[in-house]
Amino acid sequence: MLSRLNALLDDSVTDVFIGSATGVWLQRGSDVERTSVVMSEDEVRALAVDLIDQGGRHLDDANPCLDVALSGGVRVHAALWPLSSLGTEISIRIPAREVPTLDDLVDAGSITGATADSLRDAVAQKKTFLITGAAGSGKTTMLRALMALAEPLDRIIVIEDTAELCIPHPRVVSLETRTANTEGVGAIAVSELIRQALRMRPDRLVVGECRGADVVDMFIAFTTGHPGGGSTLHASSLRDVPTRLSALTALAGFSARAGAALAVAAIDVVVHVAVANGRRRLIVGRPIVSASAKLSIEPWSNES
């Protein structure tokens, strides 16, 4: 079955969606197409179990929904029937064969040469980045490109739910969260990995994604002698970033004023990745707090 799927793939495919009821679909950028491949529920389930097993986890009725990273940064999510009521579903995210550099983004018209130079300087100055954007916009790719610019001797410790950043750098340590076992024990969350990472003498700390109350642990780490790293955040527009940050810090019991102050102290540069008509455009800003304690994003310059 894998050979049948591989025959359909080329360098332009970014996602593959497989279901016994929904069929096999390929996505290339913003274009989606249905293939002629048909798979039974038994075939899809067997493929899901095999792929998740390759990622070092076990998919079964006790753990019917899992996410793993395979070699080369390929990310696989599987949901078994009856959790997926129409049949087992597999979602595969395929990373770009070549990670775009800042120069590539300039050539594509996503940013100006001056902005690219400022971002390079910001990495060298150990500014801390927050990369924002909608799902599939290229946040991970952008964070990877920036962290690849770090000095070769810098020790970068990366924390992710599923390892996919794959930063092309000689000193990267990757830590991955762990779900509880069938007895409900053994889970290791992002917040615990942040605490462990700080004992590992990082020069730069990178958290794959802000998605819960552990954003406060990350922000505190960034403000206590560990600058120069970064994270990503789902946000449909740059205007939504303050609201998303406020909501996440509120989950940890922070007031709007305290959450805004912490975000501003922790994050130097916000890079929002916007995609329209298949073209990526970067908007660069920085968080500020107004006199009324409201968090907002203003245009950024390297002198900020």
Check residue 5 and give its pLDDT: 64
Check residue 32 and give its pLDDT: 86
Q: Which amino acid is located at 140 in the chain? A: T
Please report where in the chains the tokens 């707090």 appear, as a residue.
Answer: 289
| Domain span holding position 271 | 102-299
pTM of the predicted structure, to 2 decimals: 0.82
pLDDT in tens, 25-58: 998 876 888 988 889 999 999 999 999 999 888 8
pLDDT in tens, 3-15: 566 666 777 788 8
- 157 in the same domain as 82: no
CATH of the domain at 67: 3.30.450.380
* Structural domain contains residue 247: yes
**Is pLDDT at 304 greater than 50 in this prediction?**
no
* Structural domain contains residue 50: yes
Instruction: Report yes or no: 194 and 217 within 8 Å, Cβ to Cβ.
Output: yes
- 244 in the same domain as 144: yes
Among residues 216, 264, 232, which one has the least CA distance to residue 132?
232
C-alpha count within 13 angstroms, C-beta hemisphere, residue 96: 15
- 232 in the same domain as 200: yes
pLDDT in tens, 209-226: 988 899 999 999 999 989
CA distance 153 to 174: 16
Domain ends where: 41, 59, 93? 93
- 198 in the same domain as 53: no
- For 193, the token pair is 């990995």
For residues 244-264, average pLDDT: 93
Check residue 1 and give its pLDDT: 56
Domain ends where: 61, 93, 125? 93
Check residue 252 and give its pLDDT: 92
Least confident stretch, 61-70, 148-157, 194-203: 61-70
CATH of the domain at 145: 3.40.50.300
Return all residues near 283 (Cβ < 8 A) that are at least 6 apart: 238, 271, 272, 274
Higher pLDDT, 125 or 178: 125
Average of per-residue pLDDT values in the chain = 88
3-state secondary structure of 208: strand
- 151 in the same domain as 292: yes
pLDDT in tens, 67-118: 888 877 788 999 999 999 999 999 998 877 677 788 888 888 888 899 999 9
- 265 in the same domain as 180: yes
Return all residues near 92 (Cβ < 8 A) that are at least 6 apart: 15, 16, 17, 18, 51, 74, 75, 76, 77
The number of domains in the chain is 2
Interior angle at CA 195, CA 124 and CA 54, nearest 5: 90
* Structural domain contains residue 304: no
Domain ends where: 64, 93, 122? 93
DSSP state of 60: B
Check residue 18 and give its pLDDT: 95
CA distance 120 to 253: 35
- 62 in the same domain as 206: no
- 130 in the same domain as 246: yes
Least confident stretch, 102-111, 125-134, 170-179: 102-111
- 178 in the same domain as 73: no
- 281 in the same domain as 187: yes
- 265 in the same domain as 139: yes
